[in-house]
Amino acid sequence: YAVLDPKTNILDYSNAGHNPPILISANREPMLLEVGGPVLSVMPKFPYEHAEVEMRPGDTLLVYTDGYSEAMNPRFEEFGEESMRELAATHKNLGPQKLLDAVTENVNKFCEGAPQFDDMTIMAIHRRAADLSG
């Protein structure tokens, strides 16, 4: 989950066993949001940790399932988490739709047409500047 306070720019989040989202900023290196715990319902009453990070106007949160990072080519090589971080760094100045297009294009190229066996879901949450003019 993630909750943004637009007045303080603080994003309070917790990750429940999925790939850590990547916070992308034009002025910083991409940051993995890893704090949380295991997949929901695996352990009853597990005390999930949460953390806070600054998410400024212009920043983008890249959220994806492991179908992207674990996408395989015909040689059974995985695309990998590091490749996802590198794509985020390389394309950090693109808008959210162009970022999604670039990631998807790169993953598809890597896979060389090999069939995939996991869902591939991705979204980019872009923080626009607030219009405070009234």
Q: What is the DSSP string of 63-112?
A: EE-HHHHT-B-TT--B--HHHHHHHHHHTTTS-HHHHHHHHHHHHHHHHT
Percent of the chain with pLDDT over 70: 96
Confidence band of 30 (pLDDT split at 50, 70, 90): very high
Q: Strand 36-37 vs strand 15-16: parallel, antiparallel, or unpaired?
A: parallel
Q: What is the mean pLDDT of residues 1-7?
A: 92
**pLDDT score of 134:** 46
Q: How far apart are CA 121 and CA 109, in angstroms?
A: 17
Q: Cα(134)–Cα(43) distance, rounded to whole angstroms?
A: 47
| pTM for the structure as a whole | 0.87
Residue with tokens 């943004």: 4
Average pLDDT of the residues in 25-52: 84
Looking at residue 46, what is its pLDDT? 78
| The dihedral formed by the CA atoms of 90, 105, 99 and 70, expressed in degrees to the nearest 10 | -80
pLDDT in tens, 75-103: 999 999 999 999 999 998 888 999 999 99
In degrees, rounded to 5, the angle at the alpha carbon of residue 124 between the alpha carbons of residues 87 and 6 is: 120
